[in-house]
């Protein structure tokens, strides 16, 4: 039985625009209005999950998705870097930032190491294997990158080599624990979830 999974990255926020480590910011009103008028087929999923963060919940609500909060889809915990820009952290803690980017099990910010994020997302993804029908999850770029790394059995350092844009859809399919990356791209009105 093939499992179909669509990972929707939440709408853009100030952290996206400012190249920052996100806190729990909201999506802007203009984006919310655009999403509420968007015609799409993600509403026809058999299951829909959402990260507990404000920006993910607001994205799901604006798109009229009846989504169940799933803690395993939460954003990476950036510890004391949350709410700060990459430039600020680079200026104040260049060695700590370099260590975090180079070493998957490092957590110099006091939050979650990339390796821990990869393990958490792999556990959630593996739990979805064997589910019939379509599952949609509204979550974060970091979580989607981790899911891709697991799906294609890439090494942990490849996490930084994957770009996931706000409101992009990543399509995965799985069968008996083996995942296939079908596509990564912008959400197209009316074209999902086939």
Mean pLDDT throughout 22-50?
84
pLDDT reading at 170 higher than 70:
yes
* Residue 106, domain member (yes or no): yes
pLDDT band at 172 (very low <50, low <70, confident <90, very high): very high
Whether 140 is covered by a domain: the verdict is yes
Find out whether 149 and 162 touch, Cβ atoms under 8 Å. Answer: yes
A 10 A CB-CB count for 194 gives 7
Q: What is the pLDDT of residue 126?
A: 92
What is the model's pLDDT at position 20?
87
Average pLDDT value for residue range 116-120:
98
Domain CATH code at residue 15: 3.40.50.1240
**Stretch 107-134: mean pLDDT, rounded?**
94
Looking at the domain assignment, is residue 194 inside a domain?
A: no
Mean pLDDT of 109-125: 97
Residue 80 half-sphere exposure toward CB, CA atoms < 13 A: 10
Residue 33 pLDDT greater than 90, yes or no: no
Q: How confident is the model at residue 141 (pLDDT cuts 50, 70, 90)?
A: very high
In a domain, 47, yes or no: yes
SS3 state of residue 50: strand
Mean pLDDT of 59-63: 92
190 within a domain of the structure (yes/no)? no
Give me the mean pLDDT over the 79-85 stretch.
Answer: 94
Quote the longest CA-to-CA distance of the chain: 51
pLDDT at 194: 42
Residue 192 falls inside a structural domain: no
Q: Give pLDDT tens digits for 13-23.
A: 888 888 889 88
Q: Backbone phi, then psi, for 44, in 5-degree steps? A: -90, 15
The predicted pLDDT at position 39 comes to 64
Mean pLDDT rounded to a whole number for the chain? 90
Whether 185 has a pLDDT exceeding 90, the answer reads no
Which pLDDT does position 188 carry in this prediction? 65
Residue 192, pLDDT > 50, answer: no
pLDDT at 122 over 80: yes
Residue 114 domain-assigned (yes or no): yes
Q: Does residue 170 fall inside a structural domain? A: yes
CB 131 within 8 A of CB 48: no
Q: Which domain holds residue 113?
A: 2-185
- When divided into structural domains, the chain yields a total of 1
pLDDT at 112: 96
Q: Determine the average pLDDT of the residues in 75-96.
A: 95
């Amino acid at each position: 039985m093939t499992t179909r999974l669509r990972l929707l990255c939440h709408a853009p926020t100030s952290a996206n625009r400012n190249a920052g480590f996100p806190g729990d910011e909201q999506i802007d009103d203009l984006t919310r209005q655009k999403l509420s008028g968007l015609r799409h087929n993600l509403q026809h999923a058999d299951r829909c999950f959402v990260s507990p963060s404000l920006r993910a919940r607001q994205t799901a609500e604006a798109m009229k998705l009846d989504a169940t909060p799933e803690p395993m889809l939460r954003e990476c915990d950036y510890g004391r870097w949350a709410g700060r820009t990459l430039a600020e952290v680079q200026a104040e803690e260049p060695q700590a930032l370099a260590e975090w980017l180079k070493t998957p099990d490092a957590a110099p910010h006091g939050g979650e190491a990339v390796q821990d994020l990869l393990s958490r997302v792999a556990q959630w993804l593996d739990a979805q294997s064997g589910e019939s029908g379509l599952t949609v999850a509204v979550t974060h770029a970091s979580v989607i990158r981790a899911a891709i790394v697991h799906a294609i059995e890439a090494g942990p350092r490849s996490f930084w080599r994957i770009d996931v844009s706000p409101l992009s859809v990543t399509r995965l399919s799985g069968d008996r624990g083996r995942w296939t990356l079908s596509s990564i791209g912008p959400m197209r009105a009316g074209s999902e979830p086939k």
